[in-house]
Amino acid sequence: MQSRDEIYVNGKWTPSAGDGSIDVVNPSNEAVIGSVPDGTAADVDAAIAAAKAAFPEWSGRSLEDRLGFIEKLGAGLAARAEEIGALISSEVGMPATLSTMIQAGMPAATTAGVPETARNFDFEETISRSLVTREPVGVVGCITPWNYPLHQIMAKVAPAMAVGCTVVLKPSEVAPLNAFVLAEIIDELGFPAGVFNLVSGVGPVVGEAIAAHPDVDMVSFTGSTRAGTRVAEVAATNVTKVHQELGGKSANIVLDDADFDKAIPSAVGAAYLNSGQTCSALTRLLVPAERMDEAAELAAATAAGFTVGPADDAGSRLGPLVSQAQWDRVQGYIQTGIDEGATLVTGGTGKPDGLDAGYYVKPTVFADVDNSMTIAQEEIFGPVLSIIGYEDEEDAIRIANDSEYGLSGGVWSSDNDRAIAVAKRLRTGQVDMNGSFLNTDAPFGGYKKSGNGRELGRYGLAEFLEAKQINLPLG
């Protein structure tokens, strides 16, 4: 059990102003594995006051001084990678081997990459007769999700602190324990008091208190579109800058000249990573209509290889969903797909045989899906792939763009120039060609209801900066 009874404010562990706690449940077996304080608005007030007080001194330090802390932080995360991977595996349900590589490895690598990005960033430039400076925005409230908990934290916290901002973090109450490990590392490294603050709790209390606070200069939010909309509404009262990375319903287009034997198995994996609990998952598979049966057969055979089981079982390729609420939600979508007339190729409702405890879902594939169906339009957040037929390339692009989201996408073709031409016409923030994947040095974010702003690399760094025009004397 990892029972945490204090939050981290102003450089020290301190009791919450409230007396409640939130249990953390292992989704593989439904056992309680820890607890964290159920934070209050008073906790948020204290954390923001500390961040505001720390901002002048922290932002006034040299860039190299701040980057020294970030480099040590990246190393500290890497040193505890095995522990962090196992912890997040027990919080989220990602199979342990993958969790160490992705859930621990990515945040460590992202943090370690921030110093080089910052050193190569143009914080000042001259435009005609003006000096233009890029300065830290101030106090940043970071509200983060449970699916890739530490990676989404570090994609915000590391660049924000590097450029001189101070931070108040509210991690997801579903998977918060990893954030407390981060706070331990920051505390051991001796970061100045108030630069990093951690308040655990639920969104309607802690999240809204952060978003509504007049001393917060920016909110960086990752989560559902519904919750992101609420954060923006609350923050609008103070005209607070809001960065949002929200939902997705991304299309993976397999063009008629693609190698189906490679493309379809890869497409299943692109939909099922983290049991489908990935905002950028490619959950709509677009194939030539005349090859629907071939695609469905290949997808079903691939899905059969995704062995479902506990996250700590070496044979598991697909862990559980994160919670009972998520399980119920995904079951509802699978039933809706059946009711609306999609062809259930494999999977379906209910738990896999022999897995009664834990939030397990059968890896599911639907064929003959029309893009107007619920399972093609709404984010399911589970291992459910919808195969949609198209008539020609123009039709494929039309279907891919027929979504209120625009976070990610994919294109498969034996002709790279053709694939790039299609990728450029997709209204989405990221496109993977022929099974490629996320580049953490390039910008990540979405169009439409998938959010605004970008994370990672120099684009992510720029989100935490304001531009100032200093007009130089004439003559």
Q: Which residue numbers are catalytic? A: 245, 279
Phi and psi at residue 243, in whole multiples of 5°? -105, 135
CB–CB of 185/69 below 8 Å?
no
Q: Which residues pair with 75 in a beta bridge?
A: none
Residue of 172, 174, 136, 141 lying closest to 157 (CA atoms):
141
Q: In sequence order, which residues have a C-beta less than 8 Å from that of residue 310 and are 6 or more positions away?
A: 28, 29, 316, 319, 320, 358
Q: Which two tokens stand for residue 450?
A: 């998938």
Alpha carbon distances (Å) from 42 to 45, 170, 198, 323, 445: 5, 14, 13, 29, 32
Phi and psi at residue 140, in whole multiples of 5°? -115, 125
Q: How many CB atoms lie within 10 A of CB 182?
A: 26
Q: In sequence order, which residues have a C-beta less than 8 Å from that of residue 341 and are 6 or more positions away?
A: 368, 370, 373
Nearest-angstrom CA–CA distance, 132 and 469: 5
Residue of 10, 11, 5 lying closest to 177 (CA atoms):
5
Phi and psi at residue 143, in whole multiples of 5°? -120, 120
Nearest-angstrom CA–CA distance, 169 and 323: 22
Under the phi-then-psi rule, with left for phi > 0, alpha for psi from -120 to 50, and beta for the rest, what region is 30? left
Residue of 262, 87, 82, 58 lying closest to 167 (CA atoms):
58
